[in-house]
Each structure stands twice: as C-alpha cells, then as structure tokens.
Amino acid sequence: MSLVLSLFPGIGLLDMAFEQEGFCVVRGPDVLWGGDIRRFHPPAGKFDGVIGGPPCQAFSRMQNINRARGRQPAFGNLIPEFERCVREAEPLWFAMENVPDSPRPAIEGYGIHSFILNNRQCIDEHGRPAKQNRIRCWSFGMRGERRVLPVEVVCFEHAEFEGAAISHATSWSKVNSRPEGSMSVKSLATLVRKQGLPAEFDLPPFTVSAKCKAVGNGVPLPMGRAIARAVKEAIGM
C-alpha cells in the first residue's frame, strides 16, 4: 500500500478520494483544526507521495472584487510551503490542486506536468459524468522525470449543468448571518450532493454555516478519484 502525506487537508475530501482508490493517507496540519503548516516538518523518505491544495483565495478571481472593496484574503500564497514540505519529505511524486490562475509549483529534482481539469469531465459514483462545473489546475510532479498524468476523462457531459459548489458565493455567505434553520440545512445538502458525498455526510462539531464553508472548499470526489486513479497508473501501483 502506498503511503501518502496530505497537506492542507481541510475536512479530507481529497484524502477520501485517494483512500477509496487504495492509498493510505496521513493528514498534516490544517488551520481548520488549529494547525500551522509553517511549523510542520515532514520526515524524509517516509512517504511515497504528497497531495494537497494550498488555500486558493489569494488567486481566486473573486478576490479581485474583494480587494476592490478593501478586503484582503485570509491567506497569502502558501504554495511555497507546499513546495518546502515536498523538498523535506522527498517523495517519489506529488499532486497539487488549486484554481487555474494560481502559480505553478517549481521544485528542484521533480519533473512537473500541470493541466486544467473540470469536474464535469470526471465520472461520479454512478459511472456517469459529474454535473458540477468546477475547474481546477493540477500539478503532478515525479522525482527525476516529467511524466504526464494519464487522467481518464469522459468525452461527453451530463445533460444537467450545475454551477460550482463554492463556500463564498452570495447564496452561501447569507447563511452565515441567518439562524441555523431549514434554509441553511438545504444549502448544506446541496453542497454535499454537488461534491459527490453521501447524503448522510456530516461534520457534527461544526455549525451549519461552517459546514457549508468546509464542504464548499473541498475537492469534488469525482475529480479526486480521477486524479488518484491516474496517479496509480503513473507510478505503476
């Protein structure tokens, strides 16, 4: 079994996808649980791979609007911290996720293949194209060589089209100012479904608004599984 270190794991949706594909995932620190990546130093030579999605707010197109209103993103560019952890861990491979406008990682000793993937190109749990229109940039690095990640994508899209499950859109931000009533629960159920999670998925310690934010920030399961399957093929697992 391949041992993988997860950086910036959040509530572990990308971790879940890799676990479903047979990887053993160890989670690193995350601000959601009071952790600080800047104080984290992984041991060298213990992990086969490193996965993760550094906070994307600084590179999101929504931030142009927020900055114009005088609001700065909660996190700056933490991609250098991802790069540092990969250097220290010295894995065979890594996979990093972020928004399309984010900087691409550059780590000496690794050949890196970066590409754009839409969740609608990935297969859901029923073997059909996923509905959620969510575009992300992935960077796959292989130690000593550049290897194209062979992601299997569908040639057609689902007949139904759904917008991205995001945590900061107006419809979700309103949840934060409302009592936790039926509207909040309905919003959470929509996010859970869009992300490909089972209907009973829950985060008991969180408020409903916090659950919406955490689920909306995660990697959709169809996309995560597509990446995990491609990594297995690329490394001969």
DSSP characters for 8-25? S-TT-HHHHHHHHTT-EE
The whole-number pLDDT of residue 59 equals 63
Instruction: Give the Cα separation of 106 and 121 in Å (integer).
Output: 27
CATH code matching the domain that covers 3-164+220-235, chosen among 3.40.50.150, 1.10.3210.10, 2.60.40.790, 3.40.30.10: 3.40.50.150
pTM: 0.87
How many CA atoms does the CB half-sphere of 205 hold within 13 Å? 4
What are the tokens at 128? 């059909």
Q: Residue 83 belongs to what H/E stretch?
A: helix 79-89
The whole-number pLDDT of residue 151 equals 95
The whole-number pLDDT of residue 155 equals 78
The whole-number pLDDT of residue 69 equals 66
Beta-carbon contacts of 119 under 8 Å, excluding residues fewer than 6 positions away, are: 130, 132, 133, 134, 135, 136, 164, 220, 222, 223
Amino acid (1-letter code) at residue 86: V
Q: Quick one: CA dihedral 212, 134, 127, 26, positive or negative?
A: negative
Domain boundaries, the chain: 3-164+220-235, 168-216
The whole-number pLDDT of residue 182 equals 39
Q: pLDDT 10s per residue in the chain (237 long)?
A: 899 999 999 999 999 999 999 999 999 999 999 999 999 999 999 999 999 999 987 667 666 665 566 666 666 789 999 999 999 999 999 999 999 999 999 999 999 999 999 999 999 888 899 999 999 999 999 999 999 999 999 878 787 888 888 754 433 333 334 444 434 788 899 999 999 999 999 999 899 999 998 999 999 999 999 999 999 999 998
Phi and psi angles of residue 153, each rounded to the nearest 5 degrees, phi first? -120, 155
